[in-house]
Structure 1
Amino acid sequence: MAQNSNQAELPVLIIGAGCSGLALANGLKQKGIPFKLFERDAVLSPRNGRDWGLACHWSVPLLRSLLGEAKWSRISETLADPHHPIQNVERFPLYNGATGEILVATPIENLLRFLRSRLRAFAAEDLVAGVDIIYGKVFEGVEYAADGKSVAVQFSDGTTETGRLVVGADGSQSRLRNILLGPERAANKKLPLAATFVTASYPRDVAVRLRACSLNPIINAFPHPENMMGLFSLLDGADKEHPENWEFAYYISVPISVEEQEKERGLVSKADRVRAAKKNSLKFQDPLRTAYELIPDDLDKVYYTPNANWDPSLPEHEWDNHGGLVTLVGDAAHPMTYHRGQGLNHSLADVFNLVKALSNPEGKSQAELITEFEKEMRTRGGEEVRNSEMNSLMVHNWEKLEQSPLMKRGVNFGSDDTAKERATWMPKNYKNVESEAGLVK
């Protein structure tokens, strides 16, 4: 059935102005597809003051296509270090955390490390506030038209908006996912791992030394023989001449049962977390040992993060898209663990494929387009949720580390079984991104 022309004139309603929602807005804008993007916060500044780095690699051609060539020419502005030359291939080293010995330094094509706040601000530059992007809109619910051709979203201020499609890009705790499936089926699966993340700056000489003691000047990982995992990264190095203003983000992650996590909830202070991480850091080599040693116990930018995920490919997790009127993308659809750096990449694949479907319907109805989109997304995203979970558990088990996806495949797309399937939809480079994806004839 061909797509209804009146339906196509209504806007796509995007819930959430994270990286997925903003990338979708940019892609739709380039294709002339009406949209409205709703963000619950009043501004794009990091919620609760927390910012973080995002790894982008195999999805770089997709992001480049979504943003457009004019914006992409300035993409270095969004990086953790805007002054670090972009390389065709970077090496992502894994060290023995106890000895400092390099275990592997996997070559990665197009490895970029974004500062999330800068990427969001950059993606929002061409979006008109109050028209393209509407701030301060807390999503409450959704209602489907009886004729199946439109959908309305409701907000906490009592207002509603009507569109052709609602896209939940509202993060790992997605309210839309909760509405579609109910609290029990939409709940994330808790995993027996947790990390204490730290964001900190240091005196000039220390900052330079910390950054210089690893192979990669942006990000390095440190699995430990005592079943721990460490990571040290530059979060923000924009102030090139003043290393004392650089911010670093790092963590030590440890196995801890879900039961123990529940027991600790609300009972362990931030200072207690810092002291425990400092104790663990004594077993690591630099930069982690010194980084933890020099922070005060009362440091504010400390974030305890239990691991969790949600697999969209499970039969019990299949939602009703109401004839193609509602769907999910990014962390709302497939939150995954971070030790293999796949989250942003799969989010961008979702967005790219959705823009492709809506801009080139090939005579199909919207119901058919969204159902096909979700079938691919569930399969691909679900596989990576499981692959990343397996990897996270294995990098916290020294005996299994060598067989982990991170050691065997680095951060490359998919598993050994599915990587070869990438060519069926994944453009190899930007030069032919649109023709290979079927966006131009």
Structure 2
Amino acid sequence: MSSAVVGRVLVAGGGLAGLATAIALGRKGIEVRVVERNAGFSSNGSGITLMGPALRVLGDLGLVEACLDRGYGVTELVTATAAGELLETVDLPRLLGPKLPAIAGLYRPELLNVLLEAALATGASLSVGTTVTDFEQTGTAVAVAFSDGTTDRYDLVVGADGWLSPTRGRLLGAAAPAPVFLEQAVWRAVVRRPGDFTRSTFLYGTRRKAGFMPISADRMYAYVVESATERSKPAADAAPEMMREMLADFSALPAEIRESITDPAQVDVRPLHKLVVPSPWSRGRIVLIGDAVHLPTPQLGMGGGMAMEDGYVLADVLTSEKTVEAALSAFTRRRFARCRAIVDNSVQLSEWEKNAAEHGPEAARLMNESQQLIAQPI
């Protein structure tokens, strides 16, 4: 029997935040429906780094073993020159104890599949190709209209619909802040992993930062961060050659790895943005989570981790507080300062990487400090 202050919850968005929320709520006995605007629950084909806090949440949800089975555990993160000369080792707290890795790499669609399977196992209802077109709060419920012409009522609506969140715009109106472009882009490609590439490695060159992260027994993802004055992405057929050229500055990454980047579908290019929505993150019975309210850059690998933390904490407050108002107030109180600090630190690292060679040691120090921050309880 659930002790939650809500019985039925709608989650708008079927990404990491939305599915983690569905799992956490479902395991508390709360009825959950997830609507996803895309035609299926899918993700881009790049890799993802699961830092210690992400593994901690996955452990609390009973999913860490499934993720490690499909991914690759890592115990060491290092920074190095473009030629591979070691600069500094970043201290990675082992939040799940000495027998499990500090962080892990995973093919992003594999992570989504783990979460999707778990959400279904909790009894969540999942609808694809569906969006929220309108909602109206009545004090005790939220009346919701959907793109398929149907309507329904819920005790709570969770906006987990990403950095361009329509729920944020609909809820906050003219007060809704927009993500800020940081004049950078990150390029990622999944490639074959040489057997001796077992660490997460950041490479600082004179113009760019690059690196790699193992994601399975035989694969890793390579990436490069570049300055970009425009938000536009390159033509797909030109992307592999452009990425190979950028990685040519990094001799620590073998030429055969660079030359294996040939398929346009293999390359994922993302302009970098930042966002922190001012507190509070809820209005009445509608709450925003994940990238919809806090969008870091990938320099700390915490975007997905913070999103999943949100779902876990939201389920906790909804079953520990006595009213919806108190629960949502507690949610923002527990999450705001932590998420803002992680966004701020990631953005500082992003800024320094515009002159990566000059700021390599400084960046490593901030990364070490950030690891202590993100290791704190949620």
Question: What TM-score results when the alignment is normalised by the length of structure 2?
Answer: 0.86
Partner of 1:401: 360
Q: Specify the SS of the correspondent of 1:222.
A: strand
Amino acid at match of 1:345: G
8 Å CA contact 2:182, 2:273 repeated in 1: yes
| Deviation, structure 1 residue 103 | 1.1
Partner of 1:357: 317
Determine if the alignment matches structure 1 residue 330 to structure 2 residue 321. no
8 Å CA contact 1:59, 1:345 repeated in 2: yes
Partner of 2:273: 308
Q: Specify the SS of the correspondent of 2:299.
A: coil
Partner of 1:436: none
| Deviation, structure 1 residue 368 | 2.0
CA distance in 1, matches of 2:125, 2:5: 19
1:342 counterpart (291, 298, 302): 302
| Deviation, structure 1 residue 9 | 5.2
CA distance in 1, matches of 2:197, 2:127: 41
Partner of 2:373: 414
Partner of 1:256: 228
Greater RCO (Cα-Cα under 8 Å, separation 6 or more): 2
Q: Specify the SS of the correspondent of 1:380.
A: helix
Is the alpha carbon distance of 1:16 and 1:383 closer, same or farther for their aligned partners in structure 2, counting shifts above 3 Å?
same
Q: Specify the SS of the correspondent of 2:10.
A: strand
CA distance in 1, matches of 2:64, 2:50: 16
CA distance in 1, matches of 2:258, 2:185: 17
2:331 counterpart (365, 368, 373): 373
Q: Specify the SS of the correspondent of 2:283.
A: coil
Partner of 2:248: 282
Q: Specify the SS of the correspondent of 1:194.
A: strand
8 Å CA contact 1:401, 1:407 repeated in 2: no
CA distance in 1, matches of 2:170, 2:108: 27
Q: Specify the SS of the correspondent of 1:357.
A: helix
1:222 counterpart (199, 203, 225): 203
CA distance in 1, matches of 2:241, 2:54: 38
| Deviation, structure 1 residue 33 | 2.0
Choose between structure 1 and 2: higher strand proportion. Answer: 2
8 Å CA contact 1:104, 1:407 repeated in 2: no
| Deviation, structure 1 residue 178 | 2.0
Query: C-alpha deviations, 1:342-361, integer Å up to 9, x for none?
Result: 11222232222211101111
Amino acid at match of 2:295: P
CA distance in 2, matches of 1:370, 1:307: 29
Q: Specify the SS of the correspondent of 2:152.
A: strand
CA distance in 1, matches of 2:175, 2:209: 31
Is the alpha carbon distance of 1:213 and 1:122 closer, same or farther for their aligned partners in structure 2, counting shifts above 3 Å?
closer
Question: What TM-score results when the alignment is normalised by the length of structure 1?
Answer: 0.74
Determine if the alignment matches structure 1 residue 122 to structure 2 residue 102. no
8 Å CA contact 1:342, 1:411 repeated in 2: no
Amino acid at match of 2:112: R
Q: Specify the SS of the correspondent of 2:161.
A: coil
| Deviation, structure 1 residue 228 | 0.6
Question: When the two structures are aligned, how many residues end up with a matched partner?
Answer: 367
Determine if the alignment matches structure 1 residue 163 to structure 2 residue 122. no
Is the alpha carbon distance of 1:149 and 1:94 closer, same or farther for their aligned partners in structure 2, counting shifts above 3 Å?
same
Q: Specify the SS of the correspondent of 1:399.
A: helix
Is the alpha carbon distance of 1:45 and 1:194 closer, same or farther for their aligned partners in structure 2, counting shifts above 3 Å?
closer
1:234 counterpart (191, 214, 226): 214
| Deviation, structure 1 residue 277 | 2.9
Amino acid at match of 1:53: I
Partner of 2:125: 133
Partner of 2:282: 321
| Deviation, structure 1 residue 213 | 4.5
8 Å CA contact 2:145, 2:151 repeated in 1: yes
Q: Specify the SS of the correspondent of 1:187.
A: coil
1:25 counterpart (14, 22, 26): 22
Percent of matched pairs sharing the same residue: 22
Partner of 1:77: 69
8 Å CA contact 1:56, 1:114 repeated in 2: no
8 Å CA contact 1:139, 1:153 repeated in 2: no
8 Å CA contact 1:196, 1:274 repeated in 2: no
Q: CA RMSD in A?
A: 2.9
Partner of 2:103: 111
Is the alpha carbon distance of 1:151 and 1:178 closer, same or farther for their aligned partners in structure 2, counting shifts above 3 Å?
same
Q: Specify the SS of the correspondent of 1:38.
A: strand
Q: Specify the SS of the correspondent of 1:214.
A: coil
Runs (5+) with no aligned partner, structure 1: 201-206, 238-245, 427-441
Aligned ranges for residues 190-209 of structure 1 at < 5 Å?
Answer: 190-200=181-191, 207=192
8 Å CA contact 1:151, 1:164 repeated in 2: yes
Runs (5+) with no aligned partner, structure 2: 95-101
| Deviation, structure 1 residue 14 | 1.0
Amino acid at match of 2:12: I
8 Å CA contact 1:170, 1:176 repeated in 2: yes
Partner of 2:49: 54
1:211 counterpart (183, 189, 194): 194
